[in-house]
Amino acid sequence: MKYDFDKKTDRTGTGSVKWDFAGDALPMWVADMDFESFPGIKEAVLKRAGHGIYGYTYAEKEWGDAYANWWRTRHSFDFDPKRLVFVTGIVPVISSAVRKLTTVGENVLIQTPVYPVFFNSILNNGRTVVENKLLYDSETGLFSIDWDDLEKKLSDPQTTLMVLCNPQNPTGNIWDRETLSRIGELCEKNGVCVVSDEIHCDITAPGKEYVPFLSASETNRRIGVACISPTKTFNIAGVQTAAFLALDPKLHHKVWRQVNTDEVAEGNCFSYDAAIAAFTPEGAEWLDELREYLWDNRRFAEEFIRNDISVLKTVPSDASYLMWVDCSGITDDSNRLVDDLKKKAKVFFNPGADFGGCGNSFIRINLACPREMLKEALDRLKSGIESVSNER
C-alpha cells in the first residue's frame, strides 16, 4: 500500500465535532474519518493558501470538468458539466429543494432508517415527513423496499417529493438499476420529484459499483436532482464543497434559483480547488486503497462481533464506512444503550433511534479509523455490553 491508513493523527484543538462532542469517550459516531485526506487535496489547499489573497472565487470550467470526468470514468455516467451547480453542502441543497419543490404542509417521503438530518430538512421547513419504512429481515440482516407501502404513500396527492439515499445510510444498500428505475416510474406516475443524495457513492466495497439515480432511466433524468460531492469520500466535510445535478432544464432552473436565494451556491476560495484535486486519477488511486482498508476494517468488526459479542448482529453492507448493528437481543432503547456505553465503557456511537424506522433497536458504528482504534472501540463495546447485560 502506498498510503498509510494505520497512521494516527491527533485531532485535538481542531474543533472536531466528532472528537470534542464525544468528550472522554472514543468517538465512533458522526460520519467523518480519522484518516488524513488524499495528499493531493492538502497540496492544492496549501497552494491556494500560499497565494495570500483570498478574494471572491467562482467555479471555473475545471471544476465542472473534474466532476464530469470522475462520473464518466468511475460511474460510467456522462453528463454535461453545465448542468452542475456548486453548493456548500448536500444538506443545504436538500433543504433548498424541499423549499422550492414542495409547499408548506405537503409530504416529503423518505425511506427509513435514514440519515437523521433528512428529518430536519423537512420538518424545519414546515413540511410533513412520510416514512416508507424499509423491511428488515432479521435472519439475513438485509433491508429491502416495501413497494406496496411506497406506492400507496406516493399516490397521496399531498406527497410531492421523495428524498432518496443512494447508496443508503445507514444500511449500506446499493440500489440497483432496476430498483432506481422502478422508483422513478412510481414517482413520475404520481407527480413526485426525487432528490437523490449520493454523498456515499464512492465508498463502495471493492468490486461493487453504485448506480447514479439519473443514469437509471429516461424518466429519472426528467424528475431527478442528484446531490454529489467529494466530502465523504476524501474526508473534507469541513471544506464545504458539493454540487447538485439536474438534467431537466426546468427542474435545474428551479433548484438553481432556490440555492441562490438561500445563498448556498457560492464557495470559499478553497472549495473549488479541493474538489478539482480530489477528482483526479491520483485521487482514485488513494480511494481504491482506502476502500480496501475500510472493508478489512468491516470484516474485522463483523468477525469480532460475531465471535465476541454474539448478542449483537451486524447488517451486511456494500457501501459507506458505517455499520448498522442490530441490538434487539439486548434493547429496544438505543438512546439509553448509547448513553450507558458512553458512561460505562467510554465509547460513543450513534443511537439508531435518530434514524427513524426500526432504528430504536440499532446503533451505528463509524468504521473509518486506524485499525488499532477500531480494535480498542470493539473491546470497549464488548465490556460495555457485558456490563449492561449484567444489570438488566
C-alpha cell at 214: 439519473
- Smallest separation (angstroms) from ligand PLP to the CB of 184: 19
Cβ closest to ligand PLP, residue 115 vs residue 175: 115
- Smallest separation (angstroms) from ligand PLP to the CB of 382: 26
105 contacts 126 by C-beta, under 8 angstroms = yes
- Smallest separation (angstroms) from ligand PLP to the CB of 110: 11
- Smallest separation (angstroms) from ligand PLP to the CB of 364: 10
Phi, psi of 146, deg, nearest 5: -90, 95
Among 26, 44, 203, 242, binds ligand PLP (CB under 6 A): 242
| Interatomic CA distance for residues 130 and 111, integer angstroms | 9
Of the ranges 83-91, 181-189, 204-212, 267-275, which one interacts with ligand PLP (CB under 6 A)?
83-91
In DSSP notation, 22-86 reads TTTSEE--SS--SSPPPHHHHHHHHHHHHH---------HHHHHHHHHHHHHHH-----GGGEEE
Q: Is 37 in the site for ligand PLP (CB under 6 A)?
A: no
- Smallest separation (angstroms) from ligand PLP to the CB of 71: 17
- Smallest separation (angstroms) from ligand PLP to the CB of 264: 10
Tell me which residues in 86-145 interact with ligand PLP (CB under 6 A): 89-91, 115
Tell me which residues in 306-365 interact with ligand PLP (CB under 6 A): none
Cβ closest to ligand PLP, residue 31 vs residue 33: 31
Cβ closest to ligand PLP, residue 103 vs residue 124: 124
Among 112, 231, 297, 361, binds ligand PLP (CB under 6 A): 231
Strands 224-228 and 128-131: unpaired
Q: What is the DSSP letter of 145?
A: -
| Interatomic CA distance for residues 380 and 346, integer angstroms | 7
Among 197, 273, 302, 318, binds ligand PLP (CB under 6 A): 197
**Site string (263-302) toward ligand PLP, x via CB under 6 A:** ----------------------------------------
Among 112, 166, 169, 331, binds ligand PLP (CB under 6 A): 169
- Smallest separation (angstroms) from ligand PLP to the CB of 86: 12
- Smallest separation (angstroms) from ligand PLP to the CB of 359: 14
Q: Report the candidate in 143, 102, 134, 135 with the shortest Cα–Cα distance to residue 121.
A: 102
Q: Report the candidate in 25, 21, 23, 6 with the shortest Cα–Cα distance to residue 377.
A: 25
- Smallest separation (angstroms) from ligand PLP to the CB of 169: 4
> Which stretches of the chain are DSSP H helices?
17-20, 39-51, 61-75, 90-101, 117-123, 147-154, 177-189, 218-223, 231-234, 249-261, 271-278, 281-308, 334-345, 371-391
87 contacts 259 by C-beta, under 8 angstroms = yes
Among 22, 66, 130, 199, binds ligand PLP (CB under 6 A): 199
Instruction: Name the residue number minimizing CB distance to ligand PLP.
Output: 89
Query: Helix 90-101 to helix 249-261 angle, to the nearest 10 degrees?
Result: 110
Cβ closest to ligand PLP, residue 40 vs residue 89: 89
Phi, psi of 293, deg, nearest 5: -65, -45
| Interatomic CA distance for residues 102 and 252, integer angstroms | 15
305 contacts 379 by C-beta, under 8 angstroms = no
Contact residues: ligand PLP, CB under 6 A: 31, 89-91, 115, 165, 169, 197, 199, 229, 231, 237, 242
